[in-house]
Amino acid sequence: MTDEADDEAAGLRKIIHVDMDAFFASVEQRDNPELRGKPVAVGGGGGRGVVAAASYEARQFGVRSAMPGVTARRLCPDLVFVRARFDAYQEVSRQIRAVFRAFTPHVEPLSLDEAYLDVTEDLQGIGSATRIAELIRARIKAETGLTASAGVSYNKFLAKLASDQNKPDGLCVIRPGEGAAFVQALPVRRFHGIGPRGAEKMARLGIVTGADLAAKDLAWLRQNFGSFADYLYRAARGIDLRPVRANRIRKSLGGERTFGEDISSGPALREALDTIVEIVWDRIAEKDTKGRTVTLKMKYSDFQIVSRARSLPRPVADKREFAAIARQLLDDQLPLPLPIRLMGLTLSALEGEAREPERPPDGQLSLL
Ligand code: DCP
Ligand code: CA
Ligand code: CA
């Protein structure tokens, strides 16, 4: 019996996670040969705002996403800052999603540059998930001129860890039976859902590796991590029951960013907002969704969360209107009482949803 037949007998799924390498920066290097081989940062130019993406050359100096431009320049004096070109990134995003859909309809995009694919049954009858991952990487390279890394495994959690393992231009396969050992050898900061501060909290509790996490029982995890406990308990054992969801039924569409360092200046806030507008509007356009309510969420450095929303009597017409409402919601909050560590935007009251009976007129509605 082949490996694949074994997997089917065990009822296991075949999941691939694909993620583009240094996405925005690689697109800039592709389109401007002068940038190739050089340390490049997208965004954060002029010392204002934060770096959105850093080329692998820049990373050798310690430059990272979400780092303030001034810090990046200090680490790497020769760093070349370039402006983000979202149209170019969205075009690549469309191209790679078309590549994915040639192999399976079960594609769940997580952001412009990455997606989960369920290839338990693939459209071309290829059978081997590893082979499909290699074909996808080759097709992406041929069609976009860019490299992607892929992870292959039997659930989403492991596939995402695997795609990160051999970056850039890498492939990693975690086979049935290998998941628990793989996870337990890794630092928990590599786990999807555990950010830098989550990892700090875990370290204070004596948890650095997956093995440390696996040593804790569910009751202890619930005491310390609340509703996150079940996910962590399974993750530490290489278990993840979440299906790949190609068509989610949504009440809202949105996105948020946690910054590497808290931000408070007007220009940095507006640049962050512009980035989030682009990312969120791409999701809205991708899903062909319309909605009436725009919500801005900010988490202050003391972790307090504020949300401010504005509803129109009709759906938001286009990206410009969405951006203008978002900007107004932000400007109404300035100056901020504290720096913020996270900003997010959502569009809700989506078309097709039942309208709330008591809708405020075209005005501001405070959610918190
Ligand atoms: N991005 C952003 N702000 C962040 C993080 C990312 O605007 N704080 C954007 C720029 C990235 C893109 O999203 O190019 C994809 O993010 P990834 O986290 O996948 O990072 P990269 O693709 O840049 O690098 P990697 O090779 O590590 O995946
Ligand atoms: Ca990426
Ligand atoms: Ca990504």
Residue in the structure block whose two tokens are 């017409």: 317
pLDDT over threshold 90, residue 114:
yes
Q: What is the position in ligand 1's atom list of the atom closest to the CA of 42?
A: 10
Ligand 1 pocket test, candidate residues 23, 144, 258, 273, most atoms within 8 A of CB: 23
Calculate how far, in angstroms, residue 18's C-alpha sits from the geometric centre of ligand 2. 9
Cα 224 to Cα 202: distance, rounded to the nearest angstrom:
9
CATH 1.10.150.20 residue ranges of the chain are 180-235
pLDDT of 38 reads 98
Residues catalogued as catalytic: 114
Cα 163 to Cα 16: distance, rounded to the nearest angstrom:
8
User: What does the pLDDT look like over 153-180, one tens digit per residue?
Assistant: 999 999 999 999 999 999 999 999 999 9
pLDDT of 47 reads 60
364 band by pLDDT with thresholds 50, 70 and 90: very low
Closest C-alpha residue for ligand 1 atom 2: 52
pLDDT over threshold 90, residue 333:
yes
List phi, psi (to 5°) of 279. -65, -45
Tokens of 15: 């999941």
For 296-326, b/e burial (b = at least 16 CB within 10 A) is: bbbbbeeeeebebbbbbeebbeebeebbebb
Calculate how far, in angstroms, residue 121's C-alpha sits from the geometric centre of ligand 2. 26
Answer whether CATH 3.40.30.10 is correct for domain 251-352. no
Calculate how far, in angstroms, residue 114's C-alpha sits from the geometric centre of ligand 2. 7
User: What does the pLDDT look like over 35-64, one tens digit per residue?
Assistant: 999 999 999 887 678 999 999 999 999 999
289 band by pLDDT with thresholds 50, 70 and 90: confident
Ligand 1 pocket test, candidate residues 59, 67, 113, most atoms within 8 A of CB: 113
pLDDT of 45 reads 83
Strand (E) or helix (H) holding 86: helix 86-101
Tokens of 151: 């992870």
User: What does the pLDDT look like over 193-217, one tens digit per residue?
Assistant: 898 889 999 999 999 999 999 999 9
Closest CA to 84 of 71, 69, 73: 69
| Residue-level length of the chain | 368
Give how far Cα 19 sits from Cα of 96, 165, 240, 356, Å.
10, 11, 19, 38
**Residues 6 or more apart whose Cβ sits within 8 Å of residue 251:** 348, 350, 353
pLDDT of 352 reads 66
Share of the chain above pLDDT 90, in %: 82
Calculate how far, in angstroms, residue 1's C-alpha sits from the geometric centre of ligand 1. 41
pLDDT over threshold 80, residue 112:
yes
Ligand 1 pocket test, candidate residues 17, 51, 65, 137, most atoms within 8 A of CB: 65
Torsion angle of C-alpha atoms 60, 61, 66, 72, degrees rounded to 10:
-150
CATH 3.30.70.270 residue ranges of the chain are 1-151
* CATH entry, 1-151, from 3.30.365.10, 3.30.70.20, 3.30.70.270, 3.20.20.10: 3.30.70.270
Cα 322 to Cα 320: distance, rounded to the nearest angstrom:
5
Q: What is the position in ligand 1's atom list of the atom closest to the CA of 275?
A: 7
Calculate how far, in angstroms, residue 32's C-alpha sits from the geometric centre of ligand 1. 19
User: What does the pLDDT look like over 25-42, one tens digit per residue?
Assistant: 999 999 999 999 999 999
Q: What is the CA radius of gyration of the chain?
A: 21
CATH 3.30.1490.100 residue ranges of the chain are 251-352
Name the 3-class secondary structure at 288. coil
Tokens of 24: 């925005």
311 band by pLDDT with thresholds 50, 70 and 90: very high
pLDDT over threshold 90, residue 2:
no
Ligand 1: residues within 6 Å at CB? 19-24, 52-53, 65-66, 113, 167-168, 257, 275
DSSP E strand stretches across 44-141: 53-54, 80-82, 107-111, 114-118
**CATH superfamily, domain at 180-235:** 5' to 3' exonuclease, C-terminal subdomain (1.10.150.20)
Closest C-alpha residue for ligand 1 atom 21: 22
User: What does the pLDDT look like over 70-109, one tens digit per residue?
Assistant: 999 999 999 999 999 999 999 999 999 999 999 999 999 9
DSSP conformational letter for 340: E
Tokens of 188: 């928990």
Mean pLDDT of 289-301: 94
